Chains A and B, each alone.
Chain A
Amino acid sequence: MTTVDKCPVAFPLRQPGQSFPPPQYLQFRKQQGLVSTTLPSGEHVWLVTRHEDVREVLTDPRISSNPSHPGFPRAAKTGGVPSQDEVPGWFVALDPPEHGRFRKTLIPEFTVRKVREMRPAIQQIVDERIDAMLAAGNTGDLIADFALSVPSLVISTLLGVPHADRDFFETKTRVLVTLTSTDEQRQAASKALLRYLNRLIVIKQKRPGDDLISRLLADGTLGKQELSGVSMLLLIAGHETTANNIGLGVVTLLSHPQWIGDERAVEELLRYYSVADLVAFRVAVEDVEIGGQLIRAGEGIIPLVAAANHDGTVFERPDEFDPSRSARSHVAFGYGVHQCLGQNLVRVEMDIAYRTLFERIPTLELAVPMTELPIKYDGVLYGLHSLPVRW
């Protein structure tokens, strides 16, 4: 354990030109105990890479999601999100039992059945984006023109953002996920969105509609401030994550067309790319042993879900894309009480996006060689900056 301490590995682990997932993960999983590393912020954290250990970290009550605990890991790059720890309703950063009040209020909106009922609305959004791409010519950037728009439009529909405001809503959320945005631009966009959501809540109070905000207002469990924080969390948590998955999935399905339209491909893509590898940060609030490693109270922990999802003891030939395997035990959505609230929505969005894209644009192909696709090595989420395509 001490020898590991003396030679922390460099972070972040994704490097340009490297294969995916980072080859070090294999070595880390084999190593006894856990791997120690130093974040760009200078903090020491433990990296957790085995499937079993990751599930343990994400379910142990002595391990917290709350960034107000000393030692909570802080990534240098926040993925375009200004520090939101203090936004009321940011329940991904709360532990039980406080977390439960939010989670229980939200789950009726994201059940398997509820999300299935949204299929026609999602199909319409996807169709309209494809109409726009086709109308614009025979080339495009599938990230900017499609993958980022679809999730943002789906969330705004769910929340009840009026059609007339969708452009505003999308433009502001786009600033948050654009790498070249400055911190000031991000902060301004984030403030504008919160202001907008606060206003929307007042409007929905007067004139309720068939949408999440109106239903939660009627339910009354959450206060108005909490409700705007929750809406913001839904927007941010479900935007770039989904967009990156859609983009990477299109690239993969272009070279594995036999899996287009098969729902198992969606599950395998989630496992394979595990875009939220650097998302579920934690801190120990008591001493705890994980994977044979003693973690002291106040030490940060990063369970690497991509490493867990490529653990050969759980998934055979883990670095192969093979939808015929049963990928369902992947932890791409995390594990434990915080496991992704939007996961069923994502599955439907990805399924509809791939089916419709390849059906309506059967000649879709990459406009640059695969090796030249710009990968987000420096982002919190794994994905592509852009995806030049033609048809």
Chain B
Amino acid sequence: MRGIGEIFKKEIARVVKDRKMLFSVFLLPALLMVGIMSLTSNLVSNMEEDIDSHVAVIYVSNMPESFQTLLDAGESAYDIRSMKEEEQIKEELKKGEADLWIEFPENLESQVENYREGDRIPQVKVYYNPSEDYSSAAYQEISGQVLEGYRQMLLQNRVGNLEQLTVFTVNSDNPEMVVQDDKKANGKALGMMLPYFITILLFAGAMGIGTDMIAGEKERGTMASLLVSPVKRSSIVLGKVFALMVISGISSLIYVVVMVASMPLMSKAMAGTESGMKMEITLEQGVMLAGILIALAFLYSTLIILFSVFAKSTKEASTYVMPAYLLVLVIGLMSMFTSKAPSSETYFIPLYNSAIVLKGILSDEVTWMQFASTLLSNLALGAVLTGVIVKAFERENVMAP
């Protein structure tokens, strides 16, 4: 037992004393993350601004005078071009040179004015290119707002008072229309991303150090010095597993804090989820989160160490650990994009259940039962792997080739 503590302390000291290691394990990933996120958010908001400031190029055929007046009175500026051949306009739309083509029927105004019941209702056709950002934005604005306004205007001309035609409105004066559990909504946005980031960061943080702790020590010939000391193989293994757990746990904690702190940076990038950025975690949620993270840190550490034991060098170890890392990535993605309620057996599948439960904890949708089965199954698998590692440590062709 004494050996576990000594080896644990040495492993921690090894990381703490090494500036390069400290930087590459704790700081660099956090910096990279913030960098990438603020970069994407800048790019996204630049793009939005660009679309906003773009003057839409619009062709209008058979332009009614009243529509022209309406456009002139409006705030937005449009580049209204004189008509060309139909084929040519479509070509320009395809190329993204033109954004919209509004085709009014001939004499729309008189058609509307002289309308009798039973006549064909005139149709305005709007052509656009949904794969061009400018074009779709123009379409949204013209068909949704400008043409709708125009229709109301013409309708008013015909019937005088519009109110007679309005049977009811929907939410025209209801500031309380959004009824949701804020906690749950907050969690939805967070719950979508955080588990994913936490699991992959936890693993990534443990990977470099874990492979160095085992395969690196074998490579450097320092493992053998532990093997001739009077500590049990199991103590060596546990000391290293716990140290790796703590280091990767702390690094993932740093990443999470950095992520939450840099949320304002990214809020633009995830427009509309402003409310999702508030982190309100109850004590119960906190306890559950901590429990799952500890179990995960344990399981990941044993996984990484297990693969490293069979490698002769850190390079070889990284190659062996890679598939496990990919598995963790895929599982994270799966949990991110499944909205179906998981069946109760799901909560007994280690790794996968932790991703589901993390998501559930953050959106306050998890039962203690689900939490407990997740916690136990991950810890149990970790314990089994630890046993396998100890067995491997006793094999001389693995440890002292």
Do these two chains interact? no
Tell me the A residues contacting B by CB distance below 8 Å.
Answer: none
